[in-house]
Amino acid sequence: MYAEEPFEPKLVAHYLWEHNQLEAIKNPICIIGVPDLSNLGQECINYLITELKAEKIAIFYCSDFPPISYIEKNSYTLDLTKIEFYLVQNFKDQKNLLLITGTDTPKSPIGLNYLAEKIVEFIIPMGPEVLIALATFPSRHPTHARQVFLTVTSDELLPLFKIDKKTTHKTELGLQLLQKGIVLGLNSLVVAYAKEFHNLLGGILLAETEKSETTDLIAVKALLNVISTVFELPISLVSLNSNIKTFLKEKSTPSSRLENILKDVRKRIQN
């Protein structure tokens, strides 16, 4: 769709911090959440940015992003598709937190792999402790509380999530290890590249959700609950809880139920 022949994507990096300031960032916990099959990861990171008052330090633009410009909510301004990096300094015991998000991702395999490599190249000099991705686990019938699944690049990471290496049962965090399958998109590629070429420990948390144009706030909360508990992030979910009530009310309306039924029928016909 975007290139019939092999091509070389281009990256434009805009650094909001000086070079010496970026070099001073040491051993951050890195969390990435960009759109994949839904925008769960993006919504989670945006929530963390607001709650933790994170500071934007860099922006990446890629020539293989889809030809779309975005109008920012409540601002009426037009903006390009981009990947953004935010930093929270000394949030606990002098630890730093690097948050990575974006409005979209490249649409070609070449572009996805290229951008994953560039993101990893940017964070590796900081000496990250761990890299966690927040992603989507598509389900036609998600559980009420939204099950969160986990896959890791090494068993060494399991204790962090309070999982015994000898069992795959749900833990006190309610997590379940994925036994097999694939994870699509930039979220998983960044974690895989970091492990394969730099031996950085990483994992992917996937919350089950229905494919929908509406953000599944219950799934967002499920992911945030795990992340905030594991890394002891000082965030409140009060505002999210109030939005969930509205979300559930809208989903329970007759028109919403009918719309979901019609969407399911259309998908079955297309398949």
Sheet with 95-102, strands from edge to edge, namely 11-15, 55-62, 83-92, 95-102, 29-33, 130-138, 202-209, 148-152, 175-177
Q: Please report, in tens digits, the pLDDT of each residue of the chain (271 residues total).
A: 445 557 889 999 999 999 999 999 999 999 999 999 999 999 999 999 999 999 999 999 999 999 888 887 777 788 899 999 999 998 888 899 999 999 999 989 999 999 999 999 999 999 999 999 999 999 888 888 899 999 999 999 999 998 877 665 556 788 988 888 889 899 999 999 999 999 999 999 999 998 776 788 999 999 999 999 999 999 988 888 767 766 655 555 544 555 666 666 676 666 5
User: What is the reported pLDDT for 246?
Assistant: 61
User: What is the reported pLDDT for 251?
Assistant: 56
Of the candidates 109, 114, 105, the residue with the CA atom closest to the CA atom of residue 133 = 105
User: What is the reported pLDDT for 1?
Assistant: 41
The rounded Cα 156 to chain-centroid distance in angstroms is 22
User: What is the reported pLDDT for 241?
Assistant: 74
What is the amino acid identity at position 199?
N
For residues 123 and 197, the answer to whether their CB atoms sit within 8 Å is no
